[in-house]
Amino acid sequence: MRTILIALTAAAMAFPALADEKPIDLKKAPGLDKVEGNCAACHSLDYILMNSPYPNAALWSAEVDKMVKAFGAPISDADAAEIKAYLAKNYGS
């Protein structure tokens, strides 16, 4: 019973923070489903929009490689290639 009460209290405290969060609207293009399905599993998609004025294709490629190799993101090689292409085409400099 105590565990349920603690969980409900924590959820009630977190709810107002979620209410202010606005959905991220990324460009509709091939590869978006891979970005949303893989990248959003670990972090907000805000990072794409915040960083998009700066990276070129090589930097986006390095970022995706870092997520997979350094941070252990479970992204297949095929999905990683689609993510890199999507980011470079739609958010590259």
Q: How far apart are CA 88 and CA 86, in angstroms?
A: 6
Predicted TM-score (pTM) above 0.85: no
Q: Domains of the chain: which residue ranges?
A: 24-91
Q: What is the mean pLDDT of each run of 10 residues along the chain (93 residues)?
A: 71 59 87 95 90 88 96 96 96 86
Domain 24-91: give its CATH superfamily: Cytochrome c-like domain (1.10.760.10)
Q: How far apart are CA 11 and CA 1, in angstroms?
A: 15
Q: 30 and 86 in contact (C-beta within 8 Å)? A: yes
Q: How far apart are CA 50 and CA 52, in angstroms?
A: 6
Query: What Cα–Cα distance (Å) separates residue 49 from each residue in 5, 11, 70?
Result: 38, 28, 22
Q: How far apart are CA 36 and CA 1, in angstroms?
A: 37
